[in-house]
Amino acid sequence: MRAGEAYPVEVGCGLDVGALAAAALEVGDCALLTDSTVGPLYAGRVRRSLRAAGWRVLETVEVPAGEGSKSLAVYGEVLRRLARAGLMRDGALFALGGGVVGDLGGFVAASYMRGISLVMLPTTLLAMVDSSVGGKTGLDLPEGKNLVGAFLQPRLVAADLGFLESLPRRELSMGLAEVVKMGLLAGGRLFGALQRLAEALAGDAGALEELVLLSVSFKAGVVAEDERERGRRAILNYGHTVGHGLEAASGYGLAHGEAVAAGMVAEALLSRRVFGTDLVGLHERLLREAGLPVRVRGLEAAEVLGAMRRDKKRRGGEHRFVLLREVGRPVWGVEVGEEEALSAVEAVLEAA
């Protein structure tokens, strides 16, 4: 793919990470960032692959699994570990894990020594199809999600589908939320491939590979047109305006994929009101096939709306949404008033 500088995105089973990285950038010192769930399973294998290709692994930093590691405190500790290990500006950071590790590792790489090389090794379906590609990095603040961050394109993304074998069914569903989103945005072949959602949820390797490849290809094309999100790249936020509000209102106890699923239903309702095209039933059917909920329990609409008011996309006091005129025809920057936004949020909330 091409996004700013060209870099490869490799998708397959049993990838030789060390050799792929050696082909993409100069071999030298590196560090491995992972979390407490992924590290015990795969860090040893990745270190062996790197060393076999000539890499010098100076440090393996393991952070607690979960959204809480996207914090300034954890970020600072990772920087200090790299400094104590002696990693210099010509070194590389390998981010082995899901979206949290990728977001944290990306911001570490963007800022440590004013920028070092980054290699993404996504281990969840969600990270493979979404956060590992495109160059967005970020940390959360108590005031909201991803309020600190930078753009940094990785030098390589290596998505080994073998990592998905250890994922529970719910984690596959989290990734399929983004696949559904991109199918609705893209239309065409990717939308047609959504008929394989049930197969993918059951762990079928062929279905997973097809959906990952098509999703990455679509996102790569969008990012290549608009790397810094000044225009069309905004379409990738479909479902996320409400979704991020739901996450924040839950104290980040609600999983990202489940929040985005409900967010897409809410934004499909807004699309119906604005454009008159009823895609709500289609959204609900696809999301259920992916094993995802279409409603969220136990949250207050006022709290969700309060979190949405801190959304980076707001301008002049109005909420800005990505809406669907129809499948494959997204419209970004649609201004929606407070009452309409509140009504859409209320429609996807259920009493506890």
Q: Are strands 144-151 and 136-141 parallel, antiparallel or unpaired?
A: antiparallel
Clarify whether residues 191 and 328 are in a common domain.
Answer: yes
Residues 192 and 281 in one domain: yes
Q: Which of 106, 140, 166 is the last residue of a domain?
A: 166
Tell whether residue 348 is among the known ligand binding residues: no
* Residues tagged active-site: 114, 136, 178, 219, 229, 233, 237, 240, 244, 256
- The reply to whether the predicted model has a pTM over 0.75 is yes
Q: What is the pLDDT of residue 4?
A: 41
Q: Are residues 28 and 139 in the same domain?
A: yes
Say which residue the tokens 């570490």 belong to. Answer: 108
**One domain, residues 151 and 183:** no
Answer yes or no: do 82 and 225 share one domain. no
Tens of each residue's pLDDT in the chain, 352 residues: 434 456 888 999 999 999 999 999 999 999 999 999 999 999 999 999 999 999 999 999 999 999 899 999 999 999 999 999 999 999 999 999 999 999 999 999 999 999 999 999 999 999 999 989 889 999 999 877 788 999 999 999 999 999 999 899 999 999 999 999 999 999 999 999 999 999 999 999 999 999 999 999 999 889 888 888 889 999 999 999 999 999 989 988 899 999 999 999 999 999 999 999 999 999 999 999 999 999 999 999 999 999 998 766 665 667 899 999 999 999 999 999 999 999 999 999 987 6
Residue 12 marked as a ligand binder: no
pLDDT given at position 109: 98
| Host domain of residue 237 | 169-350
Q: Are 64 and 35 in contact (CB under 8 A)?
A: yes
Task: Tell whether 287 and 191 lie within a shared domain.
Answer: yes
The answer to whether 178 is a known ligand-binding residue is: yes
| Residue 166 CB coordination number (10 Å) | 12
Kindly report the CATH number assigned to the domain that includes residue 17. Answer: 3.40.50.1970
Q: Where do runs of H (alpha helix) occur along the chain?
A: 17-24, 44-52, 72-85, 99-111, 125-126, 169-186, 188-193, 197-201, 205-225, 240-249, 256-275, 280-289, 301-308, 338-347
Look at residues 116, 141, 166 and tell me which one is the last residue of a structural domain. Answer: 166
From 143, 166, 189, give the residue that closes a domain.
166
Find out whether 243 is annotated in a ligand binding site.
no
Domain check: are 97 and 211 in the same one? no
Cα separation values, 60 from 36, 47, 81, 90, 197, Å: 12, 9, 9, 17, 36
DSSP-H helix ranges across 122-168: 125-126
Q: Are residues 346 and 199 in the same domain?
A: yes
Q: Is 102 labeled as ligand-binding?
A: yes
Q: Domains in the chain: how many in total? A: 2
Please check whether residues 221 and 92 belong to one and the same domain.
Answer: no
Residue 99 sits in the same domain as residue 149: yes
